[in-house]
C-alpha cells in the first residue's frame, strides 16, 4: 500500500469521525431534553388537583401547577366533556429541530458511506455503517397528554373553535342548553318507543293471522297500552284474567265488586294444589311500597301461596325491594307490553 492510499484512508476516517462527533453531540442534547420532557409528563400525569378553576359562559378551565415555571390547562365543556388538545408539536418544539438535523446528517452520512464503498473502501464503509446504526434514533416522540394545554391563550382559541358552533351559539345559558339536550334525548326515546311499539304490534298481528288460518282465532285480539288505560277497573281485571293468568294455567274467578278486600282475582291450580290471589291496579303513576305491603298482608290472611300484583304503572324501588324473596309476582307496564304483544 503506497503513501497516497494510506493518506486517503486517513482522510476518509477523519471525515467519518467529524460526522460522528456531530451526531453524538446532537444525540446527547436530544437525550437531555427528552429526559426533562418525560419528567414533565410524569409530573402532569401525577397532578390530580387543579390549583385554579375559572368558569366561562360555555366551559370551565382548570389550571394545574406542575412546577414553579410550568402550568398546564384542562378545558371542560357544559357536558362535562374534556376538550382535547394537540400539543405534542408545541411540547417538543425545542427537540424537533435537533431530531430533524440529526436525521438529515445521518442521511448525508449514509449516502457518503455508499459512495466510499463504491470506490473501493468496503471495510471503512462497513465500520462507518455499524457506527451509524448504533447512534441512529427513532424520529417518533412520545405523545403529549391530550387532556392538557400548555398555553392558556391556545386553550381558549381551541375552545372557541370547538364550542362556537351554530348549535351552541343559540343558547344564552347553561340551563337553556341542558333543557335543549334533554328535550332531544326525550324525543329520541319517544321515537324509539313508537318504532318498537309498531314492530311489536306488527308481530302480534302476524301471529293472530296465523292463529286465524289455523281456526284458533275467531276475532281480533290487538290491544295497546292506551287501550288498557282506558278500560274501567272491572274490564281491566277481566283482561288480566284471560290474557295473563289463565294462559299460565290458573283457574281464575273475579271477586265481587262490593267486597274484594284488596283481592280482585282468586286463582287456583288443582294440578299442583296451589292457590293464589291477584290485585289489578289500572294506574298511571308509581305504585309505592305501602300497596305491596298491604297486599302481602292480605296474602297471609287468605293463606295464599302466591300473589300477583299487576299494574299499568311502575313500581317504586322500595316496592320492588320489599317484594324480593317473597312469593309475589310483580307485573308493571313494561312487562304488560310483552303480554300485549
Full-model pTM: 0.46
Q: How confident is the model at residue 311 (pLDDT cuts 50, 70, 90)?
A: very high
Which cell goes with 41?
Answer: 409528563
Q: What is the pLDDT of residue 3?
A: 74
* Domain ranges for the chain: 3-170, 172-222, 225-340
pLDDT at 206 over 90: no
Contact 314, 332 (CB under 8 A): yes
The pLDDT value recorded for residue 142 is: 79
- Alpha carbon of 44 to those of 40, 81, 145: distances in Å? 6, 19, 8
Helix, coil or strand: residue 70: coil
* 225-340 CATH fold: Trna Endonuclease; Chain: A, domain 1 (3.40.1350)
Distance (Å) of CA 66 to CA 38, 71, 72, 242? 13, 6, 7, 71
pLDDT at residue 295, rounded to an integer: 94
Q: How many C-beta atoms lie closer than 10 Å to residue 165's C-beta?
A: 9
pLDDT in tens, 240-255: 998 889 888 889 999 8
pLDDT digits (tens, 9 = 90+) for 175-189: 877 787 788 888 888
Going 68 to 70 to 76 to 80, the CA torsion angle's sign is negative
Closest alpha carbon to 86 in 164, 160, 143, 153: 143
Cβ 233 vs Cβ 276: under 8 Å = no
Task: Please tell me the chain's helix, strand, coil percentages from 3-state DSSP, rounded to the nearest 5.
Answer: 55, 15, 30
Q: How far apart are CA 112 and CA 125, in angstroms?
A: 9
Distance CA 195, CA 178 (A): 26
Is pLDDT at 169 greater than 60 in this prediction?
no
Give long-range contacts, CB 8 A cutoff, 24+ apart: 298-305.
298/261, 298/262, 298/263, 299/327, 299/328, 302/263, 302/277, 303/275, 304/275, 304/276, 304/277, 305/274, 305/275, 305/276
Cα–Cα distance measured from residue 297 to residue 328, given in angstroms and rounded to the nearest whole number? 12
Spatial distance between the Cα atoms of 179 and 76, rounded to a whole number of angstroms? 19
Q: Could you report the per-residue pLDDT of 257-281, keeping only the tens digit for each? A: 665 567 999 998 867 778 999 999 9
The 10s digit of each residue's pLDDT in 91-135 is 988 988 998 888 888 888 899 989 888 888 888 889 888 888 888
Amino acid at each position: 500500500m503506497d503513501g497516497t492510499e494510506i493518506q486517503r484512508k486517513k482522510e476518509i476516517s477523519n471525515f467519518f469521525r467529524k460526522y460522528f462527533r456531530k451526531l453524538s453531540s446532537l444525540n446527547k442534547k436530544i437525550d437531555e431534553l427528552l429526559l426533562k420532557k418525560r419528567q414533565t409528563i410524569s409530573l402532569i400525569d401525577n397532578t390530580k388537583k387543579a390549583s385554579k378553576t375559572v368558569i366561562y359562559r360555555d366551559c370551565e378551565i382548570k389550571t394545574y401547577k406542575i412546577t414553579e415555571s410550568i402550568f398546564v390547562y384542562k378545558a371542560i365543556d357544559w357536558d362535562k366533556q374534556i376538550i382535547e388538545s394537540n400539543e405534542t408539536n408545541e411540547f417538543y418544539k425545542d427537540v424537533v429541530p435537533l431530531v430533524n438535523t440529526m436525521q438529515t446528517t445521518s442521511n448525508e452520512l449514509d449516502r457518503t458511506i455508499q459512495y466510499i464503498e463504491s470506490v473501493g473502501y468496503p471495510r471503512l464503509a462497513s465500520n462507518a455503517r455499524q457506527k451509524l446504526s448504533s447512534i441512529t434514533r427513532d424520529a417518533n416522540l412520545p405523545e403529549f397528554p391530550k387532556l392538557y394545554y400548555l398555553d392558556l391563550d391556545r386553550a381558549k382559541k381551541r375552545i372557541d373553535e370547538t364550542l362556537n358552533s351554530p348549535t351552541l351559539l343559540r343558547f344564552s345559558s347553561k340551563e337553556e342548553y341542558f333543557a335543549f339536550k334533554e328535550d332531544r334525548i326525550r324525543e329520541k326515546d319517544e321515537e324509539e318507543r313508537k318504532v318498537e311499539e309498531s314492530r311489536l304490534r306488527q308481530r302480534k298481528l302476524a301471529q293472530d293471522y296465523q292463529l286465524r288460518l289455523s281456526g284458533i282465532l275467531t276475532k281480533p285480539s290487538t290491544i295497546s297500552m292506551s287501550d288498557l288505560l282506558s278500560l274501567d277497573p272491572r274490564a281491566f281485571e277481566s283482561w288480566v284474567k284471560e290474557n295473563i293468568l289463565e294462559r299460565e294455567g290458573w283457574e281464575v274467578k273475579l271477586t265481587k265488586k262490593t267486597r274484594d278486600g284488596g283481592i280482585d282475582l282468586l286463582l287456583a291450580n288443582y294440578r299442583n294444589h296451589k292457590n293464589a290471589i291477584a290485585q289489578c291496579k289500572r294506574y298511571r303513576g308509581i305504585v309505592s311500597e305501602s300497596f305491596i305491603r298491604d297486599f302481602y298482608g292480605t296474602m297471609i290472611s287468605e293463606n295464599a301461596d302466591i300473589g300477583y300484583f299487576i299494574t299499568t304503572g311502575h313500581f317504586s324501588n322500595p316496592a320492588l325491594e320489599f317484594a324480593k324473596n317473597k312469593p309475589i309476582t310483580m307485573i308493571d307496564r313494561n312487562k304488560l307490553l310483552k303480554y300485549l304483544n
